[in-house]
Amino acid sequence: MKNQNSVFIAVAVALGFALAPVTKGTPVPGGGPNPIASTARPVNSAESMGSEEVGVPVISIHSTGNILRGKTGAFVLDMKPALMFGATYVNFTVSGTAVAGVDYVALASPAFIGQSGYGTILIQSLPDPRAGFSNQAYSVVVTLQPGVGYALGESKSATIWIKPSPASGGAPPPTK
């Protein structure tokens, strides 16, 4: 019996030493919990600390480029590291000079990021209701918002410009 108890204690001590770096356990001279290690700090972005330190995936955004009226563009969401056994949703807001329902199909938050670590927010531009009256480009800006289970990377917002199509009088006809 005494031999089995010694083996159990030895295994428990070895396991404690093996897990100490993972749990960031540090010895305290008086015993008990370490007051410095137990202080919580808010996790709202990855700018102040690395993603390894945060322990949650870091999400950034960029656009695939400007689009002509009547075409579709995309904002690409990139999550590092990708979640091996799941996916996540990221909150965003939309702003810019373009008007939802007039210049593009309205977008709904949140956006889905799959197991691959990538997601897209498609922007479907609409034909110009001001055809012939306006030769102006309009911007759509998507800005990522903080949320539970992820941190924001350096690239928190991206812009797509909706440009007039040549058919709507947005560009002069080609010369021969």
Q: In this structure, what CATH number is given to the domain that contains residue 84?
A: 2.60.40.2030
68, 112: one domain: yes
Mean pLDDT confidence for 84-113? 93
**Which of residues 175 and 157 earns the better pLDDT score?**
157
Residue 25 domain flag: yes
Distance (Å, whole) CA 94 – CA 100: 9
Q: Are the C-beta atoms of residues 146 and 99 closer than 8 Å to each other? A: no
Average pLDDT over the chain reads 78
30, 114: one domain: no
Tens-digit pLDDT profile for residues 144-163: 999 999 999 999 999 999 99
Backbone angles phi, psi at 128, to 5 degrees: -75, 115
Residue 42 has pLDDT above 50, yes or no: no
Residue 59 domain flag: yes
Domain that holds residue 79: 54-165
What does the CA dihedral 58, 64, 67, 71 come to, rounded to 10 degrees?
A: -90
74, 35: one domain: no
- Non-local (6+) Cβ contacts of 71 within 8 A are 125, 165
32, 80: one domain: no
What does the CA dihedral 123, 120, 93, 157 come to, rounded to 10 degrees?
A: -100
25, 91: one domain: no
Residue 97 has pLDDT above 50, yes or no: yes
63, 149: one domain: yes
Residue 47 domain flag: no
Portion of the chain with pLDDT greater than 70, in percent:
61
Domain count, the chain: 2
Residue 120 has pLDDT above 90, yes or no: yes
